[in-house]
Amino acid sequence: MGIKHANVELHIDELVLHDVDVAQRQRVVAAIEQALTQMFAEQGVSGNLNTETLAIDANTIQVSAGAKADAIGAQVAQSIYSQIANSQSQTSLTERNTG
């Protein structure tokens, strides 16, 4: 039985990086992209994700002072992926309860 991988397009409308040096911002963005790509490739995304707009609350992300761009990017990506996975679980639960 084969597994079909879905194409996922993720658009981040705004990314605010308080207290991150301007020179490091592009590296943080690249790290986020790389980590998310890896997470989606390895862990996938459920077919239940059928929303065009999903708001991610990044206010809960706490990064250690002096953290490197790769570490910041990985932490932000993990938070984004976790919230997407959580929204999938909520969608699946709602569908089961109303279906």
The answer to whether residue 69 sits within a structural domain is: yes
First to last CA, the chain: 27
The answer to whether residue 74 sits within a structural domain is: yes
The answer to whether residue 26 sits within a structural domain is: yes
- Give me the torsion for CA of 88, 35, 25, 68, rounded to 10°: 120
Q: What is the pLDDT of residue 70?
A: 93
Check: CB of residue 45 under 8 Å from CB of residue 88.
yes
The answer to whether residue 16 sits within a structural domain is: no
Q: The domain containing residue 82 runs over which residues? A: 22-98
The answer to whether residue 76 sits within a structural domain is: yes
Confidence of residue 28 (pLDDT cuts 50, 70, 90): very high
Q: What is the pLDDT of residue 91?
A: 47
Say whether pLDDT at 27 is over 90: yes
Q: What is the mean pLDDT of residues 17-39?
A: 89
The answer to whether residue 51 sits within a structural domain is: yes
The answer to whether residue 17 sits within a structural domain is: no
Total domains in the fold of the chain: 1
Both tokens assigned to 36: 């998310």
The answer to whether residue 8 sits within a structural domain is: no
Burial environment of residue 95 by CB neighbours within 10 A (0 to 12, 13 to 18, 19 or more): exposed
Query: What's phi and psi for 90, nearest 5 deg?
Result: -65, -40
What pTM was computed for the model? 0.72
